[in-house]
Amino acid sequence: MTIVTDPPKASFRVSQLIYDTRYRSITFQIAALIGFLILIGWLISNTAQNLADLGKEPSFGFLAEPAGYDINQRLVDYDNQNSHLRAAFVGLLNTLLVAVMGCAAATVLGVTIGVLRLSKNWLISRIMTVYVEMFRNVPVLLWIVLIMAIIIETLPQPRDFRGADPQASMALFDSVAFTNRGFYIPEALFSRSLGDIHLFGASAMRFDVSLDLLALVAVLLAGLWASARIKRNADAVQEATGVRPTVWHFRLGVVFVPLLAVLVLLGFHLGYPALKGFNFQGGTHMRNSLIALWLALSLYTAAFISEIVRAGILAISKGQTEAAAALGLRPKRIMNLVILPQALRIIIPPLISQYLNLTKNSSLAIAVGYMDITGTLMGITMNQTGRELETVMLGMLIYLLISLSISLVMNWYNNRVKLVER
Amino acid sequence: MSDLHSHTVAFVRDTMLPQKAPPGTSVGVVGWMRENLFSGWFNSLLTIAAMAFIYLVGSIILPWLISPTWQAESLGECREILAGLGREGHFGGACWGVIRDRWIQLLFGFYPPESYWRPILALVLLAVALAPVLFSDKVPRKLIWFSAISAFIMPWLLWGGTIWTPLAVIAGFVLAYFVYKAVDTAAGALAAIIAAVVAALVWWLFVMGPVSEALSSILPLGIEPVESRKFGGFMLSVTIGVVAIAGSLPLGIVLALGRQSDLPLVKAICVGFIEFIRGVPLITLLFVASTLLNIFLPPGTSFDIILRVIIMATLFASAYMAEVIRGGLAALPKGQYEGADSLGLDYWQSQRLVIMPQALKISIPGIVSTFIGLFKDTTLVSIIGLLDPLGLSNAIRADADWNGIVWELYGFIAFLFFVVCFGMSRYSMYLERKLQTGHR
């Protein structure tokens, strides 16, 4: 009996690069890498050639030049002698402003509609279905320009508010004016203000933060923290003795009394808009473009959020509700302790990706003339300086950074709430 | 015992009573209303509020819709007609004259009127070509060949020109097929694929142009060419949408497979591409299409703006598609992959026969909602100056005759989009039901 063994294969043949699974993956990857690098190199060389032909050296020097255009809706100081970089920064803040406002409104509206769609009331759930289908199946850009057109065509002009017998009048006890140039709302003023702190000195990124606002936020956070401490103590007492002490009035007081005290100390009052000449003075002016963009993005995204909320609640199996009821929990506690914690795990990731969509959709501001980062950097700055490559690349980079930071938050949350299986 | 029993129980029923009809208040319309509309004081309140809301909206919209202004030539004339009827103000009545005046433009843009039959025929071809794809169980399979051919006929119908160009493009595929067959028997599958791709590329890039020119000079068969800038209206949206949808699905599948791949480099390239595209708004990619794409390509190339937009829209949708399909791939149990491996299938066989059919089925809702999103996003081309319905609406509203018109125009455009998008979402529900195998 002899044992036949394969002769040792010492030699390496070229065909092994393709047919031997040990080497094949490396071969493929090297081929892919070479192809990718060739593609990139080809694009870069084309770009360099084309730019040289046009006589444009790629440079970001234009960012320091005076912008020369005005931005009517802004959160920080700006005039047309400031640099393009400053204009882009103002635009970025405007993007973030409409994104934050839109996310807040869309969440409130979307959750309400999602819950109402699950209502046992046939009529209500049908109305909400019509809302969702109507907004989901029509482009958001159409909603934006439609709402803008409605504001311009149907709301009164500021001059209609003039005279002894005006055609239009202000709403909410003369505090808010809805005009076709935008909404004028009261602003918060402090007669004993703490002043502002100026961040980033004289650079293009400089902005002021109101110390009053910081103080209010700090007091609010401290109050919430104290309230949470009281709740924890009450929980501990309940664990130990079985009797839950009544603490809700302490918890409310510890949040609101210091807040009110600070407001009084700072001399808080509202500055109302008033008609002076041909336009309103005082108060905060929200431009019609901001209103149109905000409303359209919120209404549109709310339709998607309501579907997410509905799906999240429906995804919790009926057995969970029944088991909780069998444990003797009341319906409200079943919702709070059993359904919602599980539904939130399903709802939050797609909800955050809707926030991301809303932020990206806010770039459609350019259609109604709201000066966000697209309107400033990739709009007027690009047209004035002719720097298409630099402005579009910079704009994409900024959006990419915003998106990546939102997805980082989402990944962190996903990892935190992930069910550990097997 | 028995005595006691006979004393305590006076009567024992030994037959069942017939079932009684339920009370009138719990069946029929009344019962349904009691259960669904008036089941408690809060619910009743909601119902009454909802009815009031519906009445309010209906009482504004219905009279507004019924408005005898179809023949009006301008907004001013509409207002005169309505004022003659004693209806004034914003909700006095719709001005349908703008739709009568401009509906053809909203559908076709500035396409030459004598050639309207071409986009209409292309739409009919599209419907026939889609039938074997959409309703595979009701339509003969052979029709798929017609779909493949009409993919080349439709662009020719829209843009016109000589017929030899689409034929030469088809010839490239035929050439690639024969090269594949020839090399496959001689040198194996991998070499055959590479040879076929190279042969087709050489044909398309270098040989096709002169050949089709020569053929068209010998036998000038063709139809009037139409420039891209005359494209517009809903036709433009459908063109961009359909091409980008058809292109993004295969590209998305490749990207999803690349992202799931074991090869770290391929995976890194795919992840980078997908995350980049998903991280930026579509409008920035359209800016790239309108201003930068010519800078990225070799000096002197300048191709059509619609084609550039279609390329960017396809890339954009394919990244989203890849994520949707990746979700489907991840939802498949690991046993399916292992089962396919244990049958001895290689990577492509297992993907084609086992993994993809199931993964695609799971991802249908996501795929269709990506399609719907893409079709809605075609309106963004109005921002870079193309005349899709929204771009045209700006022009119409700037017209002196129709300056100040809002609801009728946007309502009409919204209605067109709604019909298409709602139809797509209903089709996806139908497909889900049809493909349901009852696992869950």
Structure tokens at B358: 């199931």
Listed residue (B292, B278, B273) closest to B384, CA to CA: B292
Query: Do A320 and A261 share a structural domain?
Result: no
Element (H, E) at A152: helix A140-154
In this prediction, residue B440 carries a pLDDT of 46
In this prediction, residue B365 carries a pLDDT of 86
Instruction: Report helix angle B305-331 to B364-377, nearest 10.
Output: 160
Query: Do A68 and A47 share a structural domain?
Result: no
**Strand A182-185, strand A284-287: pairing:** antiparallel
Q: Name which residue leads in pLDDT, A358 or A187.
A: A358
Alpha-carbon distance of A295 to A151, in angstroms, equals 11
User: Sign (positive/negative) of CA torsion A78, A386, B240, B235?
Assistant: positive
Query: Do A302 and A404 share a structural domain?
Result: yes
Decide: B143 and B131 in contact? Cβ < 8 Å. yes
Q: How confident is the model at residue B438 (pLDDT cuts 50, 70, 90)?
A: low
DSSP per position, B324-384: HHHHHHHHS-HHHHHHHHHTT--HHHHIIIIIHHHHHHHTHHHHHHHHHHHHHHGGGGGTT
Least CB–CB distance from A124: residue in B50, B406, B413: B50
In A82-141, the residues whose Cβ lies within 8 Å of chain B are 119-124, 127, 133-134, 136-141
CB contact under 8 A, B281 and A363: yes
Q: How many CB pairs under 8 A join A and B?
A: 154
Q: How confident is the model at residue A10 (pLDDT cuts 50, 70, 90)?
A: low
State which of A271, A299, A327 marks the end of a domain. Answer: A271
Q: Establish if A422 belongs to a structural domain.
A: no
Decide: B98 and B402 in contact? Cβ < 8 Å. yes
In A142-161, the residues whose Cβ lies within 8 Å of chain B are 142, 145-146, 149-150, 153-154
Query: Do A345 and A303 share a structural domain?
Result: yes
From chain B, pick out residues whose CB is under 8 angstroms from the CB of A120.
36, 39, 43
- What are the φ/ψ torsions at residue B406 (nearest 5 degrees)? -130, -70
In A266-295, the residues whose Cβ lies within 8 Å of chain B are none
* Number of domains within chain A: 3
Q: Name which residue leads in pLDDT, A370 or A203.
A: A370
CB contact under 8 A, A361 and B278: no
pLDDT tens digits, A161-195: 877 777 777 777 777 888 888 888 888 888 887 77
Alpha-carbon distance of A155 to B91, in angstroms, equals 13
Least CB–CB distance from B418: residue in A49, A137, A395: A137
Average pLDDT over every residue of B333-344: 90
Query: Do A400 and A321 share a structural domain?
Result: yes
In this prediction, residue A205 carries a pLDDT of 79
Please name every residue paired with A178 in a beta bridge, in sequence order, or none if there are none: A183
Query: A110-130 in b/e burial notation, b at 16+ Cβ within 10 A?
Result: bbebbebbebebbbbbebbee
In this prediction, residue B34 carries a pLDDT of 84
Query: What is the distance in angstroms between the Cα of A107 and the nearest Cα belonging to chain B?
Result: 20
Structure tokens at B405: 């018109």
The nearest alpha carbon in chain A to B372 belongs to A137
In A10-69, the residues whose Cβ lies within 8 Å of chain B are 18, 25, 28-29, 32-33, 36, 43, 46-47, 49-51, 53
Query: Do A399 and A339 share a structural domain?
Result: yes
The ipTM estimated for the assembled molecules is 0.87
pLDDT tens digits, A318-345: 899 899 999 999 888 888 889 888 888 8
Alpha-carbon distance of A332 to A216, in angstroms, equals 33
pLDDT tens digits, A135-156: 999 999 999 999 999 998 888 8
Coil, strand or helix at A309? helix
State how far the alpha carbon of B223 is from the alpha carbons of B121, B123, B147, B152, B157, in Å.
Answer: 14, 17, 22, 15, 8
In this prediction, residue B129 carries a pLDDT of 86
Decide: A403 and B280 in contact? Cβ < 8 Å. yes
Alpha-carbon distance of A393 to B292, in angstroms, equals 10
CB contact under 8 A, A133 and B404: no
In this prediction, residue B8 carries a pLDDT of 65
CB contact under 8 A, B390 and A141: yes
Probe site for chain A from B75, B257, B284 (most A CB atoms < 10 A): B284
CA A353 to chain centre: 10
Decide: A362 and A99 in contact? Cβ < 8 Å. yes
Alpha-carbon distance of B380 to B391, in angstroms, equals 9
From chain B, pick out residues whose CB is under 8 angstroms from the CB of A421.
none
Q: Establish if A174 belongs to a structural domain.
A: no
Element (H, E) at B247: helix B233-260
The average confidence (pLDDT) of chain B is 87
Question: In CATH, what number is assigned to the domain containing residue A382?
Answer: 1.10.3720.10
Q: Indicate if the pLDDT at residue B1 is higher than 60.
A: no
Alpha-carbon distance of A373 to A74, in angstroms, equals 12
Query: Do A410 and A313 share a structural domain?
Result: yes
Q: Establish if A165 belongs to a structural domain.
A: no
Tokens 């004259």 correspond to what residue? B97
The one-letter amino acid code at B365 reads: P
Alpha-carbon distance of B157 to B212, in angstroms, equals 17
Q: Indicate if the pLDDT at residue A226 is higher than 90.
A: yes
From chain B, pick out residues whose CB is under 8 angstroms from the CB of A400.
276, 279-280
Tokens 């003023």 correspond to what residue? A189
Structure tokens at A422: 């097997």
Probe site for chain B from A118, A131, A136, A405 (most B CB atoms < 10 A): A136
Is A230 touching B (CB cutoff 8 A)? Answer: no
Q: How confident is the model at residue B6 (pLDDT cuts 50, 70, 90)?
A: low
Q: Indicate if the pLDDT at residue A223 is higher than 90.
A: yes
Q: Establish if A276 belongs to a structural domain.
A: no
- What are the φ/ψ torsions at residue A191 (nearest 5 degrees)? -75, -25
Query: Do A298 and A394 share a structural domain?
Result: yes
Query: Do A225 and A144 share a structural domain?
Result: no
User: Sign (positive/negative) of CA torsion B357, B337, A417, A413?
Assistant: negative
Average pLDDT over every residue of A299-308: 95
Query: What is the distance in angstroms between the Cα of A397 and the nearest Cα belonging to chain B?
Result: 8
Please name every residue paired with B223 in a beta bridge, in sequence order, or none if there are none: B161
Average pLDDT over every residue of B356-364: 88
Left if phi > 0, otherwise alpha if psi is -120 to 50, otherwise beta: which for A273? Answer: beta
- What are the φ/ψ torsions at residue B345 (nearest 5 degrees)? -75, 145
Query: Do A289 and A355 share a structural domain?
Result: yes
Query: What is the distance in angstroms between the Cα of B298 and the nearest Cα belonging to chain A?
Result: 5
B108-112, B131-135, B162-166 — which one is most confidently predicted on average?
B108-112
State which of A237, A271, A305 marks the end of a domain. Answer: A271
In this prediction, residue B412 carries a pLDDT of 92
Q: Establish if A238 belongs to a structural domain.
A: yes
Query: Do A135 and A111 share a structural domain?
Result: yes
Q: Establish if A221 belongs to a structural domain.
A: yes
Query: What distance separates the 2 farthest-apart alpha carbons in chain B?
Result: 119
Please name every residue paired with A279 in a beta bridge, in sequence order, or none if there are none: A276
In this prediction, residue B9 carries a pLDDT of 66
**Strand A196-199, strand A187-190: pairing:** unpaired
Residues in chain A: 422
Coil, strand or helix at B161? strand
Q: Establish if A161 belongs to a structural domain.
A: no
CB contact under 8 A, A392 and B288: yes
From chain B, pick out residues whose CB is under 8 angstroms from the CB of A21.
none
Average pLDDT over every residue of A52-63: 84
SS3 labels along A191-233? CCCCCEEEECCCCCCCEEEEHHHHHHHHHHHHHHHHHHHHHHH
Coil, strand or helix at B21? coil
In this prediction, residue A7 carries a pLDDT of 57
In this prediction, residue A189 carries a pLDDT of 84
Q: Indicate if the pLDDT at residue B374 is higher than 90.
A: yes
From chain A, pick out residues whose CB is under 8 angstroms from the CB of B412.
none
Residue A267 lies in domain = 187-271
Tokens 């049809």 correspond to what residue? B434
Structure tokens at A284: 């905060």
CB contact under 8 A, A388 and B269: no
Query: Do A224 and A100 share a structural domain?
Result: no
Alpha-carbon distance of B215 to B221, in angstroms, equals 9
Decide: A334 and A143 in contact? Cβ < 8 Å. no
Please name every residue paired with A179 in a beta bridge, in sequence order, or none if there are none: A182
Q: Establish if A3 belongs to a structural domain.
A: no
Q: How confident is the model at residue A248 (pLDDT cuts 50, 70, 90)?
A: confident
Query: What is the distance in angstroms between the Cα of B223 and the nearest Cα belonging to chain A?
Result: 35
Alpha-carbon distance of A309 to A320, in angstroms, equals 18
Decide: A105 and A300 in contact? Cβ < 8 Å. no
